Structure 1
Amino acid sequence: MHIDALLADLPAPLDIAAAQVREAVDARSVLVVLDDDPTGTQSVANLPVLTRWEHSDLAGAFATGASAVYVLTNTRSLDEDEAALRNREVVAVALAAAAEAGKRVTFVSRGDSTLRGHFPLETDVLAAEIASRGGAAPELTLLVPAFPDAGRITVDSVHYWVTDGEAVPVGETAFAQDATFGFASSNLRDWVAEKTQGRIPADAVAALTLSVIRAGVDATRDFLRAVPTGSVVAVDVVEESDMRVVALALHSLNREVLLRVGPPYVRAHIGQDIAQPVSAADITFAHDRGGLVVVGSHVPLTTAQLTELRAQRPDTVTIELDVRRLIGERRDAYLAEQAATVAAALADGTVIVHTTRELVTGADGDESLAIARQVSGGVVELVSRVLAIAPPRFVIAKGGITSSDVASEALEIRRATVLGPMLPGIVSLWQPQTGPAVGIPYIVFAGNVGVADSLARVVATLADAE
């Protein structure tokens, strides 16, 4: 369906400024965002992000006075047991650190805007752990996967991927065929029923539609106040103001909530303006070698972006990592050889490293995830070896699992600050605060965002800077 036809009969959006939301935020409140991969930071600016969650990490982040703190759990790359354990650990530490700091925590489970990830596992675990640790048990779980900046919107509870003016129900896209987190439903109410295997039937999911949201903050608050305790609420969003209305309603609702959201909702909830893209003049580079572009994602959009990057920069050295050799017996020797090649090439300019576009999967979701982890581990080891030999000018990591592992393991980033987006509303730039990557701008680039030339544009901003 063309986007104009989809939106034709909707009420007009409200004019809600970010400043209105900022004024409504309780100074004692803080969002603790459990980010299931680091691409959740792409819609915010000037906020702390942690890849570890010891008490000192959370306490230090709360001491900054930030209204939101990102904790990179990377659970989308883990099995259910490991994912559950990480969620429990973060809740325990965050509640203890918040109590000491006098902070009131709202937990955010940041999931994928194309509906992949551990749902309902993560929200179930969070709710149970909050209650068991003496926190206020969430009364509602709001499901807000929309990401308008990247063409993901929700209308009448149906979640769409919009590209080239066409709105495609997300259940009909390649994302729904994910080997680990696949699904069939595009209507969020049906999707909840599907993912909970009927434990939460579709008709028990409350639908907060645009007809309510665009009737105003009071109407939205009244709707949420009337929803039975324990319910999941599917939230419509087409543009930023829709999320700001929901945020204002929640700030005055006086009900404990748990949020399962896509990247931009945090920005709306804390009243951040949509940040302007970072320019080369905003960035400090510690090294004058070429930059390193690492591509691990296999979604079709990433492959198209890689193709366009190579077409625009045909002289850029490109190293292809053979996925089958990364999971083979002579992996170490292969990685040592490739790392030496990359390090030498960085002396002359930017280097692209990508895995072969063949997607190797296992017999089931767990086996496929294990293979993906092994491949990602090979990419991480390569980057780590290159960093030790020849630290690059910048690092771009393309893909969720890839960018998480490169950040926490290869670059050893424990704490960083999200400087802002590299493109409007998408692709975040981190300034590492710890580890060997201090002074190396790190760009987190999701596999499923942007258009064909987006990767090339980001590379140009960094590689062509004076």
Structure 2
Amino acid sequence: MRAAKEVFDNLSAVDTRIVDELLAKEWQRFDKKIVVLDDDPTGVQTVHGISVFTDWSEKSIEQGFLEKNRLFFILTNSRSLIASETEAVHQEIGRTVSQVAARLNQPFVVISRADSTLRGHYPLETETLKAAIEAQTDIVFDGEVLIPFFQEGGRYTIDNTHYVQYGAELVPAGETEFAKDRTFGYTKSHLGEWVEEKSNGAYKAADTTYITLERIRTLEIDKITDQLLAVQGFQKIVINAVDYVDVKIVTIALLRAMMAGKNFMFRSAAALPKIIGGISDKPYLTREELVTEETGHGGLIIVGSHVKKTTEQLEELKMCPSIRFIEFDCHLVLEPDRFQSEIDRVIALAEELLASGQTVTVYTRRERLDLGEHRQDEELLLSVKISDAVTSIVERLTVRPSYLIAKGGITSSDVGTKGLRVRRATVAGQIKPGVPVWMTGEESRFPGMAYVIFPGNVGTKTTLRETVEILTGRVLSP
């Protein structure tokens, strides 16, 4: 554990004007389309004006390639899938992206956007993409760049160790609740050791290339580029970063190395797509930008995530007397008839309250469903059934909410793709730090509606309430 202030106060200052000028020059030379595969919808939490496709059909991928933007997102929602499903999805995407790119004669880069606290199907996803793309093209991947830095969520990599900020302290990621994830758990915080752990020793910490903060902050871009040019055999590259300027500096070197012929796979959090895609900063969204149709109906908030921060935010929201709360007893999934009755009850009550103009929060029972040790796949399959039930609440709505917030990555993915039936959405921007908003497409159930994708582990205790306040246009006194 480290004191955040002490770490940040001791960092060398950087002339950001020089960095921005150098990066702008590299962007002018770089001609590759950036395809970002997102394992849940929260990866768009740093961008705006970008398309998100919820399928990976040839039609959608071609549409993404033909857009003027440097990058587009494909939502895989793979964190909700078992390993065999994830592998099949990434094989298909790798093949289709390669085929479309060849037909359009458009070179490309793939970023596997994953959780900033290191959870997910790693290294399965990037290894599957590597194999699929190399089988279809003449690309040979020299290395894999790892950059879980995500400033908005308090995720920093320092001295090759990844940290999660809790108040004034930086806690090694391997010592947090996220590392204890039943499906995607790990023990190591040093990213080289984490790679060795997750790859079962196939890739060693000692063989990993490390881009240090010291080299980044002293603008040794040529030396960083030389490090990247020396990588081969899908060697891992760990990027240290505590600020967006660090990502910009490394991106200059990455673009130079790629223009020199090196091919990299990327496993990153949400910061890298913004920087490598050249996405500008944008002020946080306002109610006037998001609520474009005044229906007199209430807004709907769906809370599925069970991480500690989500539960704290829910408890804060519960202190607002103007919001109605409906607890969904998801543990009834073990009793199918009672489970269906519970779904029907929640939907009927939510419909009634929304139609009367009240803001409604539907939340899943806070205790996790625990089947015991060595039954992770069964738990994951049950969680899919629960998520399908939560999704059906939105899917069966006949009342259009004035807005919709979904709390949790898997929850927001299923609500967006299945409940709202979104095929393509536009990222409007962020309503709060790290909290993105989609504007739903014409094909969706409620076209042009603001859909707030609220990651489970982002924000302070009051951020969910503050988000609702923005959307309702009034203070909700707790």
Deviation at 1:4, TM superposition (A): 2.4
Distance between the aligned counterparts of 2:45 and 2:463, measured in 1? 14
Normalised to the residue count of structure 2, the TM-score between the two structures is: 0.93
Q: 1:262: which partner in 2?
A: 269
Deviation at 1:309, TM superposition (A): 1.4
Q: 2:403: which partner in 1?
A: 394
Distance 1:432 1:182, change over 3 A: same
Distance between the aligned counterparts of 1:114 and 1:444, measured in 2? 18
Q: 2:69: which partner in 1?
A: 66
Deviations 1:359-380 (A, max 9, x none): 1123332122122212111101
Letter in 1 for 2:39: D
Distance between the aligned counterparts of 1:65 and 1:346, measured in 2? 39
Whether the aligned pair in 2 keeps the contact of 1:295 and 1:397 (CA below 8 Å) is yes
Whether the aligned pair in 1 keeps the contact of 2:99 and 2:136 (CA below 8 Å) is no
Letter in 1 for 2:234: G
Deviation at 1:22, TM superposition (A): 4.3
Q: 1:408: which partner in 2?
A: 417
2:327 to 320, 336, 350: 320
Letter in 1 for 2:304: G
Distance between the aligned counterparts of 1:281 and 1:333, measured in 2? 38
Q: Which moved more, 1:354-363 or 1:10-19?
A: 10-19
Deviation at 1:27, TM superposition (A): 5.9
Deviation at 1:336, TM superposition (A): 1.6
Deviation at 1:337, TM superposition (A): 1.9
Distance between the aligned counterparts of 2:117 and 2:428, measured in 1? 25
Deviations 1:173-232 (A, max 9, x none): 111111100111010011001101111121111111111222322222122122344200
Distance between the aligned counterparts of 2:296 and 2:89, measured in 1? 38
1:365 correspondence with 2:376: yes
Alignment of 1:158-237 (within 5 A): 158-216=161-219, 217-237=221-241
Alignment of 1:14-53 (within 5 A): 14-15=15-16, 20-25=22-27, 26=29, 28-53=31-56
Residue 252 of structure 1 aligns to a residue whose secondary structure is: helix
Q: 1:240: which partner in 2?
A: 244
1:353 correspondence with 2:355: no
Q: 1:340: which partner in 2?
A: 348
2:393 to 382, 404, 408: 382
Residue 108 of structure 2 aligns to a residue whose secondary structure is: strand
Q: 1:123: which partner in 2?
A: 126
Residue 225 of structure 2 aligns to a residue whose secondary structure is: helix
Distance between the aligned counterparts of 1:136 and 1:349, measured in 2? 55
Q: 2:473: which partner in 1?
A: 464
Residue 314 of structure 1 aligns to a residue whose secondary structure is: coil
Q: 1:454: which partner in 2?
A: 463
1:90 to 77, 93, 98: 93
Whether the aligned pair in 1 keeps the contact of 2:299 and 2:404 (CA below 8 Å) is yes
Distance between the aligned counterparts of 2:344 and 2:25, measured in 1? 54
Deviation at 1:277, TM superposition (A): 0.9
Normalised to the residue count of structure 1, the TM-score between the two structures is: 0.95
Deviation at 1:8, TM superposition (A): 4.9
Whether the aligned pair in 2 keeps the contact of 1:327 and 1:375 (CA below 8 Å) is no
Distance between the aligned counterparts of 1:211 and 1:306, measured in 2? 41
Whether the aligned pair in 2 keeps the contact of 1:432 and 1:440 (CA below 8 Å) is yes
1:276 to 274, 283, 294: 283
Distance 1:296 1:19, change over 3 A: farther
Deviation at 1:284, TM superposition (A): 4.1
Deviation at 1:382, TM superposition (A): 1.3
Q: Which moved more, 1:251-260 or 1:218-227?
A: 218-227
Letter in 1 for 2:452: I
Q: How many residues align?
A: 462
1:432 to 433, 440, 443: 440
Whether the aligned pair in 2 keeps the contact of 1:305 and 1:455 (CA below 8 Å) is yes
Deviations 1:53-80 (A, max 9, x none): 1111111122221111100000011011
Distance between the aligned counterparts of 2:48 and 2:407, measured in 1? 19
Whether the aligned pair in 2 keeps the contact of 1:299 and 1:447 (CA below 8 Å) is yes
Deviations 1:401-434 (A, max 9, x none): 100000100000000010101113x111001112
Residue 418 of structure 1 aligns to a residue whose secondary structure is: strand
Deviation at 1:99, TM superposition (A): 2.6
Letter in 2 for 1:315: S
Distance between the aligned counterparts of 2:20 and 2:426, measured in 1? 21
Letter in 1 for 2:239: V
Distance between the aligned counterparts of 2:15 and 2:133, measured in 1? 34
Q: Which moved more, 1:353-362 or 1:402-411?
A: 353-362
Residue 422 of structure 2 aligns to a residue whose secondary structure is: coil
Whether the aligned pair in 2 keeps the contact of 1:413 and 1:437 (CA below 8 Å) is no
Whether the aligned pair in 1 keeps the contact of 2:90 and 2:125 (CA below 8 Å) is yes
Structure 1 segments (4+ residues) deviating >6 Å: none
Distance 1:419 1:84, change over 3 A: same
Distance 1:411 1:135, change over 3 A: farther
Distance between the aligned counterparts of 1:21 and 1:398, measured in 2? 35
Distance between the aligned counterparts of 2:302 and 2:428, measured in 1? 20
Letter in 1 for 2:121: H
Q: Which moved more, 1:100-109 or 1:258-267?
A: 100-109
Whether the aligned pair in 2 keeps the contact of 1:21 and 1:271 (CA below 8 Å) is no
Deviation at 1:307, TM superposition (A): 0.9
Whether the aligned pair in 1 keeps the contact of 2:326 and 2:361 (CA below 8 Å) is yes
Structure 2 unaligned spans of 5+: none
Q: 1:12: which partner in 2?
A: 13
Distance between the aligned counterparts of 1:432 and 1:18, measured in 2? 33
Whether the aligned pair in 1 keeps the contact of 2:405 and 2:451 (CA below 8 Å) is yes
Whether the aligned pair in 1 keeps the contact of 2:115 and 2:269 (CA below 8 Å) is yes
Letter in 2 for 1:262: A
Letter in 2 for 1:186: S
Distance between the aligned counterparts of 1:52 and 1:452, measured in 2? 34
Distance 1:428 1:193, change over 3 A: same
1:296 correspondence with 2:329: no
Deviation at 1:437, TM superposition (A): 2.3
Q: Which moved more, 1:234-243 or 1:248-257?
A: 248-257
Q: Percent identity?
A: 33
